[in-house]
Amino acid sequence: MNFFKSQDEARRNTGRLVALFAIAVISLIVMTNLLVMFVFGYFSVETTGQITIEQLRQQFNWQVFLIIGAAVIVVITLGSLYKIVALAGGGARIAEMLDAELLVYGSNDFHKQRLLNIVEEMAIASGTPVPPVYLLDEDGINAFAAGYKPVDAIIGVTRGAIEKLNREQLQGVIAHEFSHVLNGDMKLNIRLIGLLHGILLIGMIGYYILRSSSHTRRSKDNGGAAILGLGLVVIGYAGTFFGNLIKAAVSRQREFLADASAVQFTRNPEGIAGALKRIGGDAAGSIIENPAGIQISHALFSQGIKTWFGSLYATHPPLGRRIVRIQPSWDGKFDYATHTLSL
């Protein structure tokens, strides 16, 4: 595996997707603007005959457009900032939310001590401070990194991962998580989540306008408010749906980047590839049962939750696709065996 080439490709794809996300947000702002202008009579389309581009240009009021556009941007920005601040706690806050156990040196538990040793090794390999390590009482094989910066990051690992993976496989998983910290993936995901919440806020405002219009008896006002409310609901919820698709695609590209970085840190493609094969052959897979797991699904090592729209909303690429990226000659067989563990 050429891990530098794979990293560059994943970064380029991420950049394209983030640009697409930005274009989608701008399109939603324009659509919302035109809807408001139409409802309040600043812009109208005749029902008879054909309207020309020149007529549209003459009707268009750029001053009103800019005012409404600024108002829409303020709504999205405030909604985004609220969500970003709510999610901006340190990694320890995320671990506590998942009822994870903080691990310390000196434990007589073989699995815990081995994990701490590996985290320290990968911190040295990646040139970052040794982060606190948390253990999740989950049977699935998974892990996550949380935190805005290396100084406030933590590593979380499931009990299934430390008990079912051998040393080199667990090392590959931990190296993958260090990549997420170094590449700022947590920060990127939180910003995308914030923007989605801002877009959703448009739909929520539309819902309340639509609901309020159903209680008024003034038919003219009721009709205009109903059209505005319905239009905002459609824009907000459709924008959130497609925005989530783009966010999931961004997350999948960051997984490819982290896989390539794991190979770089460990110099051992067998480690992370073996962990992915082990997940594919395990009955529990990588599923996280804790209800709070959905909030960090994008930060997990492997797909931790089941999605309504299958691969479209999946935060991680299929296991087979990830393995082939690392080992192009893979025979397609997963690992169903148990392993002899060592420090």
d(CA 237, CA 318) in angstroms, rounded, equals 27
Mean pLDDT of the chain: 81
List all residues 6 or more positions away from 225 whose beta carbon is below 8 Å from its beta carbon: 209, 210, 212, 213, 216
- With tokens 């961004």, the residue in question is 250
Q: Is 177 a catalytic residue?
A: yes
**Tell me, what's the pLDDT at 48?**
46
A 10 A CB-CB count for 328 gives: 8
Q: What is the pTM of this model?
A: 0.75
Residue 68: pLDDT band (50, 70, 90) is confident
Q: What percent of the chain has pLDDT over 90?
A: 28
**Tell me, what's the pLDDT at 14?**
67
Three-class HEC string of the chain: CCHHHHHHHHHHHHHHHHHHHHHHHHHHHHHHHHHHHHHCCCCCCCCCCCCCHHHHHHHCCHHHHHHHHHHHHHHHHHHHHHHHHHCCCCHHHHHHHCCCEECCCCCCCHHHHHHHHHHHHHHHHHCCCCCCEEEECCCCCCEEEECCCHHHCEEEEEHHHHHHCCHHHHHHHHHHHHHHHHCCHHHHHHHHHHHHHHHHHHHHHHHHHHHHHCCCCCHHHHHHHHHHHHHHHHHHHHHHHHHHHHHHHHHHHHHHHHHHHHHHHHCCHHHHHHHHHHHHHCCCCCCCCCHHHHHHHHHECCCCCCCCCHHHCCCCCCHHHHHHHHCCCCCCCCCCCCCCCCC
Lowest-pLDDT range of 140-149, 155-164, 169-178, 334-343: 334-343
Residue 339: pLDDT band (50, 70, 90) is low
Most confident of 67-71, 217-221, 235-239, 262-266: 262-266
**Tell me, what's the pLDDT at 47?**
45
d(CA 318, CA 302) in angstroms, rounded, equals 9
**Tell me, what's the pLDDT at 212?**
79
**Tell me, what's the pLDDT at 50?**
54
The answer to whether 146 touches 91, Cβ cutoff 8 Å, is yes
Whether 122 has a pLDDT exceeding 80, the answer reads yes
Q: Spot the catalytic one: 46, 177, 255, 270.
A: 177
